[in-house]
A and B are shown apart, each in its own frame.
Chain A
């Protein structure tokens, strides 16, 4: 299994951005680049070369699904899993997101102590 070390996190809410960074870096030992909007992510994704992308669904401007569509043109999302983070979804919505190319959905609110494990779990499913 390839090693998971770099995570791109796209989230407009500064509180969530900060807590996810702490959770993923301190608990998971990952390196995290936080972006505040879809455009920011598109500008940075090739330079940062992430192994894994976490994407908020509801963002002003370009939303999560739109950002995903554009990211897919820039990098290989078969190799770099993109996972949505969103509040309380119906099973049908999860299916919908999968159809867009997302590998999984992490439900908000998330437990900061568990986030890294959730990411790792998805990673091992994709690459295991």
Chain B
């Protein structure tokens, strides 16, 4: 039976109206919640329980209803408070301090009320929690083999993700209604389900306003399954047994791509009208754009704006595009910036001549919006990747030896100025040579990459992190006394030891040792601090490895 075609506008209007009514209801109900919570304080035990039950019921209603009307975060918060109320009711003991906190939380929730909510859509949809609310990436795993799913969940948890595992499609569906994750991992072969994981993923992606980053795991290694995976938008393909650290590495890459800063594009064109049009199109694609109308301003614009792509008009009155491109290419610092010509030129020979002099690509006017975006985007993306690859360690993406060492000096000076202690930690993977010898270099590289990712996940944003040598890492922790650094590193040590690696059909795990030195004992220069950290590392190795020691 075909779905009747809904009179969409009328429906939208009705839903909108209902949403407005619900907002009015919230305006009454939230203060009511607050006064109920207030009453919890005064009452005797029996009355308290009764009051709490009524509070729980009201929260339950809100939790179930708010999302339907587009108030997703009110619904979520109500649900959390409802869980707390249930917890109190189950334990039947109302401890003073905890209860005070609960009352406060309910009152805060009631006070924030509707203002805290983004304008509701008339079409309510499950909404992703805004990025700012959480730094932790949420991953949903659909895997019917519980042991595999659970081990993935635990390992990803160790990496600092919030992972949830579901064995059945229905459970995943329910979770998706509550909250959209940042990425999905789906097993293609779902034992007793009538559809494959890929068919499910395809239907799901269709339903969402924005497709979710998706990784698939499978026992199939054939071309057809690969192709199907690509078509549902998979960003990674892993055959069982899954090497989870490698999968984590792929996740990391997905998120790095997503969170990238906007590309910076410089347009040089004397035609003001055209330039603003291009600029508008590219800004619409979330790029940062600057327009330069006079070529003479090129040096200033290049150094200040530091563009990642330059778009040049070929025919300008004072100076042609190819001439300007050659001027840019005189400076080695700008060698990595792609130059794209914009021109009405359709004569192939003349285009070639322009490219031979300098420049990387040509787009002909009039150019379709999408073609412009795609050309600029792909050039910018590649340029950025290259530039990162040049300054970072290729295996781990961390700072290289010289750069991280420089960071030690910078933080030491900062610590001396501010009087706040900084710590450095030197880490070394235990018996790494054995890993390489027994499982091969690919496995060894995986271990190094996994540790790099683990460090990135567990450390604070202000900490710097570098690959110091083969299997040696250096961490610089500003405003962090040695005892705290030791706690942090010891937690990382434990989590690292819990990781399981897979190579050639066998599973293994690896440990690490670390040495910590801090500015608390005074250090005249970076070299001294590093030497102390190195001695502490040596002590940890001597003490039997798999431990953290402090100078």
Contacts and interface: CB of A to CB of B under 8 A. Distances in A.
A88 B18 contact: no
Given A19-B68, A26-B10, A27-B6, A91 B79 contact: no
A98 B276 CA distance: 62
Interface string A74-102: 00000000000111110100100000000
Given A28-B3, A110-B67, 10 more contacts: A16-B65, A16-B68, A18-B18, A19-B15, A26-B6, A87-B64, A88-B174, A108-B65, A113-B125, A114-B207
A61 interface: no
* Those 7 A-B pairs whose CB atoms lie nearest each other, nearest first: A109-B67, A108-B64, A29-B4, A87-B64, A109-B68, A26-B11, A107-B174
The size class of the interface chain B forms with chain A is 35 or more
9 contacts: A13-B65, A19-B68, A26-B14, A28-B4, A29-B3, A107-B173, A107-B177, A111-B123, A117-B3
B127 to A, nearest CB: 11
A111 to B, nearest CB: 6
Nearest to B24: A15
Contacts of B125: 111, 113
B124 A87 contact: no
A91 B170 CA distance: 9
Interface in B62-80: 63-69, 72, 75, 79
A86 to B, nearest CB: 7
Contacts, number: 97
Contacts of B124: 109, 111-112
A22 interface: yes
B61 A88 contact: no
Contacts of B131: none
B100 to A, nearest CB: 26
A39 B95 CA distance: 39
Interface string B1-16: 1011011001100110
Contacts of B67: 108-110
A16 B69 CA distance: 9
Given A3-B1, A111-B126, A113-B123, A86 B170 contact: no
B379 interface: no
Contacts of A15: 18, 21-22, 25, 65, 69
A40 to B, nearest CB: 18
B145 interface: no
B168 A19 contact: no
A112 B120 CA distance: 13
Contacts of B456: none
A28 B14 CA distance: 15
B131 to A, nearest CB: 22
A58 interface: yes
A109 B15 contact: no
A109 B65 contact: yes
A101 B508 CA distance: 48
| Most B C-beta atoms less than 10 A away, residue of A1, A13, A88, A107 | A88
A60 B18 CA distance: 23
Given A22-B15, A28-B4, A109 B64 contact: yes
B360 interface: no
A45 B89 CA distance: 35
Contacts of A1: 1
A28 B61 CA distance: 25
Nearest to B57: A58
Contacts of B174: 88-89, 107
Contacts of B15: 19, 22-23, 112
Interface in A9-42: 13, 15-16, 18-19, 22-23, 26-29
B171 interface: yes
Nearest to A114: B207
A111 B126 CA distance: 7
